[in-house]
Structure 1
Amino acid sequence: MTESPSTFNAAENTPLVAPNFITEVIERDLSTGKYPRIVTRFPPDPSGYAHLGHIFASFLDFNTAQQYGGQFNLRMDDTNPEIVRQEYVDAMRDDLAWMGLDWGEHFYHASDYFDRYYEFAEQLVRQGDAYVDSVSAAEMSRLRGNAHTPGTPSPYRERSVEENLDLLRRMKAGEFSNGEHVLRAKIDLSSPNMKLRDPVLYRIVKHPHYRQGEKWCIYPAYDFQHPLQDALEGVTHSMCSLEFSDNRAIYDWLMEKTGFDPRPHQYEFGRRGLEYTITSKRKLRRLVEEGKVSGWDDPRMPTIRAQRRLGVTPEAIRAFARQIGVSRTNRTVDISVYENAVRDDLNHRAPRVMAVADPVRVTLTNVQDGQTLSLPYWPFDVVRDSPDGLVALPTGERVKPELAVRDVPFTRELYIEREDFNAQPPKGFKRLTPGGTVRLRGAGIIRADDFQTDDAGQVTHIDATLLGEDARAGGVIHWVSATQGVPAEFRLYDRLFRVPHPEGENETDDDDSAGMSEHEAENEAAPVDAGYMRYLTPDSLRVTRGFVEPSVLKDPADTRYQFERQGYFWRDPVLSREDALVFGRIITLKDTWAKEQKEQKAESKKVEKSRGQEVEGTAPRAPRPAHQLTPEQEAEVTRLTALGAAEADARTIARDEALLAFVGGAVQDATFAQVASWTVNDLAGGLRAGEVKVPAADLAPLAGMLSAGKITTRVARDALARAAVSGDAPLSIIEREGLNTGLSDEDLQRAIQGVLDANPDKVEAYRGGKTALMGFFTGQVMRATGGKADPQKVAEALGAALKG
């Protein structure tokens, strides 16, 4: 496996996963000895490339295992022979390792267990728990009934065990055609849970498998294969998204019938979608197949491979993942949360240089060639924020700020951006105009004396004069030497879709689009609704040719730059060559979409006013897409984050009147962030239904006790849930019902010392650099304390003890 980057937050001794309802279950299971060790798995199906939707679930599975010293498995869920490919397996494995997931030796394929699945199928038949059905798919659907009508038994439901075994073995031997027979579980045709109405366990698919070849012509259904493989691999906590909550009944039924002990359990959490993005692999494949993009690695695609080619770093992706909380409700994440994580990462990574993407020539009539300027790579604000007082060169070497400079040739002939000169400037234009002045970055102030145009009126050349030190200018522009600048192609990428929800507000994805439902739909042959195609952004890729300063020629090819005033760029690893540089824009400096939306609204108001209408009149308006924040909501986000709320929580609250009204009553102190988190992740449903009785102000003391380590997360959430129903103050509930069973500091220290004394080899390994063992020690302490200790407090105390 490709060596993965460093292990997230383990070195800082902080929890890799914020406390949530799943970690509470895990801590209880460890404390009671239900499982000796935690095992999680991430099981994408290899029918496409890993994508941004996989981030949340994969990190949750991996980090949870790490935090509790457990095992993480990566599994290729390759049971559908018609769509899985080795190409996709290899790409997923490589991309997930690049993101930092480390599964060691625990890399599996569902197809590794085809023989075992079949053995269990025969076992169910012999037990009378499964039968071969021979009705058509349409008839089977009709017989299953609906939400108001119970199912009707198939005429083949009471076949004998002998007949069922015979037919199943003949299905396996290839005697029948696709769809002629299926193997079904015999559960409950009257169950209100439609999933339990005799689900299909095996189907005939006469198609070669990319790993098994022609060996198999029957393949297990997801609801049969997935629980069995969890059990066979020793998975303890099988995490998936809410749309699989009904499937849990099949999971539990199968575990009961096959007798696994200990057995895995399934836990569902809210899925996380991402605005302006689709992550259905079937739909992404269609974009590739129809030539809407150049391939799975096209930088406009939401695949991890595309983000790698775009220049996004794994650190940025991990930072984004850490901002997404685990909850029991589905949420759509504002795309700006991801984009800002990318910008924040690049801001302190990318040295500043100059490039001109749409050049127009300038002649400085009073300047001679041969001059070289020494310009800094880093602006003052980044230098000031550097914790060690050092800044990085493009090579990665950290030096004093005065040494982080590059030589830039300053010649008589220069290039500036075409948009930085305007012969008829609008009001407020602060760049170059006829007779006007502007500052060239690091080189002085120039005045435009004359200019020439072509037959179309486009400016082709500007004559200018370099002025003295006492000259004044209102703006600053970048430039590149016309004689020594390096020719380059610039690829300017934009969002692939122009609306927040290109698949529609109410459409659910057909596969593991949010990284939660980890199995491709088994009706792969169903037609794909191509409605999302109409929302593709026109000109989402613009290609220009210009020049970049020659200092870049000596830098490593993977250097990320901030091209001043242009955005963040790096050399396209596919297209760029030493003799033909191609730079792709990773991301703009600011959220240009938000700016455009604000400008459009301002223009709309001007038009209404000019027509004699009230600015907020009743003229028909195009509906604002859901989840697109208004300027007022953006202002609320700014206010809430200033009070301490996480950005993702602030955006959810700002767009929801019920949540916003509730947090309006919260105490505005250090407890606000926790109250905001509870509002979004624990109380949102009740608030929207008008069922939460406790005021936000009463939550501040509870948050304060949690922050001080006086109560555990489990106690806080229990008190919160009871307070929401009763309206009583949470602290009074804790006192009245004796919920606070936390440990004293002395008891915690004794537990920690006991764990360290019992594991001297692991203590030595940790102190030797294997800091990922922090998760192991945390899990052991939680078990030793019966789950009463606060994981955050445990991590802090362990960190101090292990330094000794």
Structure 2
Amino acid sequence: MTDVPSPTPDATGGPAPLVAPNFITEVIEKDLAAGKYPEIVTRFPPDPSGYAHLGHIFASFLDYRTAVQYGGKFNLRMDDTNPELVRQEYVDSMVDDLKWMGLDWEDRLYYASDYFGRYYEYAEQLVRQGDAYVDSVSAQEMSRLRGNAHTPGTPSPYRNRSVEENLDLLRRMKAGEFESGAHVLRAKIDLSSPNMKLRDPVLYRIVKHPHFRQGDAWCIYPAYDFEHPLQDAIEGVTHSMCSLEFVDNRAIYDWLMERLGFQPRPHQYEFGRRGLEYTITSKRKLRRLVQEGKVSGWDDPRMPTIRAQRRLGVTPEAIRNFASQIGVSRTNRTVDISLYENAVRDDLNHRAPRVMAVLDPVKVTLSNLDGEKTLSLPYWPFDVIRDSPDGRVALPGGERVAPEQAVRDVPLTREIYIERDDFNPEPPKGYKRLTPGGTVRLRGAGIIRADDYQTDDTGRVTHVTATLLGEDAKAGGVIHWVSAGRGLPVEFRLYDRLFRVPHPEGEQEADDDDSAGPSEHDAEHTAAPVDAGYMRYLTEGSLKVLHGFVEPSVAGDPVDTRYQFERQGYFWRDPVDSREDAPVFGRIITLKDTWAKEAQKAEPARPKAAPKPGATPKADGPAKTLTPEQEAEVARLTGLGAADADARTLARDEALLAFVGGAVQDSTFGQVASWTVNDLAVGLRGGEVKVQAADLAPLAALLAGGGITTRVARDALARAAASGDAPVAIIEREGLNAGLSSDDLRRAVQDVLAANADKVEAYRGGKTALMGFFTGQVMRATGGKADPKALAQALGEALGG
């Protein structure tokens, strides 16, 4: 696979984005203040069984930037414990892509396989301590003996083997005497624990398959729950961050640290996983797309891999800015893909000079133009020049010059090309481009009038004859163009979303998504069959290939220049297939969200409800068509108190609708519906939410009565979703509802303002946006207990003096 060239420098020249304050940074600050650790050490542990993908962005950014912010160290670890799937190709690509994203682990690139010998020594130690045993039942029997949420586990007939027998069998497993599946090593913990993870988890399995780094040296491999905490401890990791599906695994983590006596020991902290709409991140499913030829490879620009996004032309600055906007919380959420796409657009808007390209050309002859004119046209529009921090703008290649120097020569010849859609013999109402006898402005060249046109046997326009009127005419629209004789012939590739639905996997899966750390959900530690249902949601025509022309000014530009082709989108030369004699330009992204526009077209018009007195009008969002049955369900849900937008989401999603069906139908229903849609949706689709909807009514009532803040409510909701405990019981047990007196609030405000005197002065000098900074600092200082309204009033009084 051909490598992708390095990105251009950061268009803004600004520093890398930081991690916003969150519950993990609060823990870190307390640990540092207490001297618990000499420095912070984090790690990102991808499983090299595929290419790095968009699911890795948030977790890797959180791990890396947290370490940087607190002056600590960041480790990159390849979790290569599955010999059947891990490959050197995947390691090399991950290392290269994560470096490209800006992560720096210095010399701390580790492999789980580096420590196979040490893991085994710890395994024997556990056996000698009576904390582990070799089990010889089948995988199916082991699953049965574990019981379920309502029935405690039953001891295996091999659970009480002697230490000597267990050591003998373990050593023979290591020596290769047994076939795969004959035996496993299990921890001896608690078969009656309500946490199923503690019911004697598997620590080692027999897998007779050569390892890409270790060859045939090993035929037993450690399970994730055994290897991962041990490697954290060996590497000196202090804060082991992982996604929420590992919350129950933390008990095994802590058990191992205690039994093996690590000091100082790492601790695990779980954050909500972040999915991305219209995307899959299961490496097994992505691998199948490649194997079945649905895409051209792992670097196909439609794929969600980092390598594909690099080839597409997305920059690391755009990816980091996207990651910084997501936010850290204790709840799983699916991120609106427009957040990612807009981060890409925002980055390119100030990076990509404007030029003209015609993708679907039709020839126009300017009958009154003799010879050739050379026009000097600007690369940048006025708004970008106006917003430039140094008053200068970039040429292709990055050199920053005065605006008047940021121009290029564009030839205007007798024959030009315009877009086929920019001429219409039978224009619809409101059409503002070229029509027979009509006028339109050519960008930078003046106004033309269409005098005649020709068509082929199918009625398709083949040629237009026009008159160049100069500036002495009126025109309602502006179109782009390229010289027919001087334009460069180009292949254009227009990429669209690979999937046409927001959740192509249906239920959100955690099969091998190592967005925070790899998991081993397959009992035999082998590749599980892949449900191909997601294939039916592939977007038809997600790649369109056109042949047109681009203005000749691009010929001498650096090959990694990103352009905005006016009215078409952002493009750059494909770094794999483009050649100097046969350039290929791929579209990085459209200028606007065309999906939202199409969704609005598809939605039948509905009468809008009159706004409430004093309400702020909201912009219309993309609407989605509902069946008559779903519309009836919306009416029922809104009648119970759900917001219209929440009701529409619930009506379309069976998992969410089933959950909220158990909610108490009183004044709390609207809040419970909101939490269901905005905080619990991803977990509900994946079957990960353990709390019942009926248990949320007391929480909603407590919030509505002012007994807790929104932050406390969401914190309790996240813990309840993971544990199944009633959220109000969690609040009372952990003292989360401890109020903040007015005196305590005023003291916190004064302390924050005193510690930020320079910002106070700037605020009073007119930088009122700093109010958000002060609010966040006081919220952090008070542990989130400050009432937002009281806090706003206290800050207003203190800053107004």
Structure-2-length-normalised TM-score:
0.79
Q: Which residue does 1:110 correspond to in 2? A: 112
Give the superposition deviation at 1:552. Answer: 0.4
Q: Are the aligned partners of 2:672 and 2:700 in contact in 1 as well (CA < 8 Å)?
A: no
In structure 2, give the amino acid aligned to 1:178: S
Q: Which residue does 2:518 correspond to in 1? A: 518
Q: Are the aligned partners of 1:693 and 1:727 in contact in 2 as well (CA < 8 Å)?
A: no
Q: Which residue does 1:282 correspond to in 2? A: 284
Describe the superposition over 1:453-494 as per-residue Cα deviations: whole angstroms up to 9, x where unpaired: 111111111111111422011111000000000000000000
Structure 2 runs not aligned, ≥5 long: 608-623, 635-642, 649-668, 676-692, 713-730, 758-776, 785-801
In structure 2, give the amino acid aligned to 1:83: L
Q: Are the aligned partners of 1:272 and 1:331 in contact in 2 as well (CA < 8 Å)?
A: yes
In structure 2, give the amino acid aligned to 1:168: L
CA distance in 1, matches of 2:59, 2:279: 17
Equivalent position SS for 2:603: helix
In structure 2, give the amino acid aligned to 1:509: A
What does residue range 75-94 of structure 1 map to in structure 2 within 5 Å?
75-94=77-96
Equivalent position SS for 2:269: strand
CA distance in 1, matches of 2:375, 2:7: 41
Equivalent position SS for 1:438: strand
Give the superposition deviation at 1:689. Answer: 5.0
Describe the superposition over 1:685-716 as per-residue Cα deviations: whole angstroms up to 9, x where unpaired: 968951443668997999xxxxxxxxxxxxxx
Give the superposition deviation at 1:154. Answer: 0.7
Q: Which residue does 1:205 correspond to in 2? A: 207
In structure 2, give the amino acid aligned to 1:343: R
Among 491, 494, 505, the alignment partner of 2:493 is 491
CA distance in 2, matches of 1:362, 1:697: 71
Q: Are the aligned partners of 1:77 and 1:519 in contact in 2 as well (CA < 8 Å)?
A: no
Q: Are the aligned partners of 2:45 and 2:517 in contact in 1 as well (CA < 8 Å)?
A: no
Describe the superposition over 1:115-170 as per-residue Cα deviations: whole angstroms up to 9, x where unpaired: 00000000000001000111111111111111111111111111111111111000
Q: Does 1:528 align with 2:530?
A: yes
In structure 1, give the amino acid aligned to 2:511: D
Q: Are the aligned partners of 2:207 and 2:220 in contact in 1 as well (CA < 8 Å)?
A: yes
Higher mean Cα deviation, 275-284 or 739-748?
Answer: 739-748
CA distance in 2, matches of 1:205, 1:564: 56
Q: Which has the higher contact order (CA 8 A, sep 6+)?
A: 1
CA distance in 1, matches of 2:45, 2:83: 16
Q: Are the aligned partners of 2:224 and 2:520 in contact in 1 as well (CA < 8 Å)?
A: no
Percent identity, please: 73
In structure 1, give the amino acid aligned to 2:102: G
Q: Does 1:153 align with 2:166?
A: no
Give the superposition deviation at 1:395. Answer: 1.7
CA distance in 2, matches of 1:746, 1:596: 52
Describe the superposition over 1:661-696 as per-residue Cα deviations: whole angstroms up to 9, x where unpaired: 99xxxxxxxxxxxxxxxxxxxxx9968951443668
Q: Are the aligned partners of 2:17 and 2:324 in contact in 1 as well (CA < 8 Å)?
A: no
Q: Which residue does 2:297 correspond to in 1? A: 295
Higher mean Cα deviation, 139-148 or 565-574?
Answer: 139-148
Q: Which residue does 1:658 correspond to in 2? A: 671
CA distance in 1, matches of 2:8, 2:473: 51
Equivalent position SS for 1:278: coil
Equivalent position SS for 2:278: coil
In structure 2, give the amino acid aligned to 1:532: Y
Among 703, 709, 715, the alignment partner of 1:693 is 703
Q: Which residue does 2:547 correspond to in 1? A: 545
CA distance in 2, matches of 1:465, 1:143: 86
Distance 1:487 1:688, change over 3 A: farther
Equivalent position SS for 1:296: coil
Q: Which residue does 1:589 correspond to in 2? A: 591
Q: Are the aligned partners of 1:353 and 1:562 in contact in 2 as well (CA < 8 Å)?
A: yes
What does residue range 333-482 of structure 1 map to in structure 2 within 5 Å?
333-482=335-484
CA distance in 2, matches of 1:136, 1:368: 87
Give the superposition deviation at 1:509. Answer: 2.7
Q: Are the aligned partners of 2:126 and 2:132 in contact in 1 as well (CA < 8 Å)?
A: yes
Distance 1:429 1:687, change over 3 A: farther
What does residue range 726-765 of structure 1 map to in structure 2 within 5 Å?
730-732=740-742, 734=744, 740=748
Distance 1:212 1:141, change over 3 A: same
Distance 1:687 1:92, change over 3 A: farther
Q: Are the aligned partners of 1:363 and 1:412 in contact in 2 as well (CA < 8 Å)?
A: yes
Equivalent position SS for 1:46: coil
Distance 1:474 1:7, change over 3 A: closer
Q: Which residue does 2:28 correspond to in 1? A: 26
Describe the superposition over 1:228-258 as per-residue Cα deviations: whole angstroms up to 9, x where unpaired: 0000000000000111000000000011111
Give the superposition deviation at 1:173. Answer: 0.4
In structure 1, give the amino acid aligned to 2:199: R
Describe the superposition over 1:481-540 as per-residue Cα deviations: whole angstroms up to 9, x where unpaired: 000000000000000000000011x33231225x13434644443211110000000000
CA distance in 2, matches of 1:691, 1:8: 48
Q: Are the aligned partners of 1:8 and 1:16 in contact in 2 as well (CA < 8 Å)?
A: no
Describe the superposition over 1:313-360 as per-residue Cα deviations: whole angstroms up to 9, x where unpaired: 000001101101111111111000000000000000000000001000
Equivalent position SS for 2:327: coil
Distance 1:5 1:130, change over 3 A: farther
Describe the superposition over 1:569-624 as per-residue Cα deviations: whole angstroms up to 9, x where unpaired: 0000001010001000000000000000111114799xxxxxxxxx9998456999
CA distance in 2, matches of 1:476, 1:7: 32
CA distance in 2, matches of 1:727, 1:79: 44
Q: Are the aligned partners of 1:742 and 1:788 in contact in 2 as well (CA < 8 Å)?
A: no
Q: Which residue does 2:74 correspond to in 1? A: 72
Q: Does 1:321 align with 2:331?
A: no
Q: Which residue does 1:507 correspond to in 2? A: 508
Q: Are the aligned partners of 1:440 and 1:478 in contact in 2 as well (CA < 8 Å)?
A: yes
CA distance in 2, matches of 1:503, 1:3: 33
- Cα RMSD (Å): 3.6
Describe the superposition over 1:378-423 as per-residue Cα deviations: whole angstroms up to 9, x where unpaired: 0111111112111110021111111100000100000000111111
Equivalent position SS for 1:323: helix
Matched pairs, number: 677
Q: Are the aligned partners of 1:131 and 1:164 in contact in 2 as well (CA < 8 Å)?
A: yes
Q: Does 1:222 align with 2:215?
A: no
Q: Are the aligned partners of 1:4 and 1:102 in contact in 2 as well (CA < 8 Å)?
A: no
CA distance in 1, matches of 2:562, 2:12: 24
CA distance in 2, matches of 1:548, 1:617: 43
Give the superposition deviation at 1:101. Answer: 0.4
Higher mean Cα deviation, 144-153 or 740-749?
Answer: 740-749
Describe the superposition over 1:699-747 as per-residue Cα deviations: whole angstroms up to 9, x where unpaired: 7999xxxxxxxxxxxxxxxxxx89x999897453846xx9959968889
In structure 2, give the amino acid aligned to 1:507: Q
In structure 2, give the amino acid aligned to 1:491: R
CA distance in 2, matches of 1:434, 1:621: 47
CA distance in 2, matches of 1:10, 1:231: 38
Higher mean Cα deviation, 552-561 or 15-24?
Answer: 15-24
Describe the superposition over 1:205-224 as per-residue Cα deviations: whole angstroms up to 9, x where unpaired: 00000000000000000000
Among 565, 568, 573, the alignment partner of 2:567 is 565
Q: Are the aligned partners of 1:486 and 1:548 in contact in 2 as well (CA < 8 Å)?
A: yes
CA distance in 1, matches of 2:707, 2:474: 54
In structure 2, give the amino acid aligned to 1:316: A
CA distance in 2, matches of 1:206, 1:700: 52
Structure-1-length-normalised TM-score:
0.79
Distance 1:463 1:538, change over 3 A: same
Q: Which residue does 2:138 correspond to in 1? A: 136
CA distance in 1, matches of 2:298, 2:19: 30
Equivalent position SS for 1:449: strand
Equivalent position SS for 1:508: coil
CA distance in 1, matches of 2:756, 2:372: 70
CA distance in 1, matches of 2:433, 2:743: 64
Q: Are the aligned partners of 1:572 and 1:584 in contact in 2 as well (CA < 8 Å)?
A: yes
Q: Are the aligned partners of 1:490 and 1:582 in contact in 2 as well (CA < 8 Å)?
A: yes
Give the superposition deviation at 1:19. Answer: 1.1
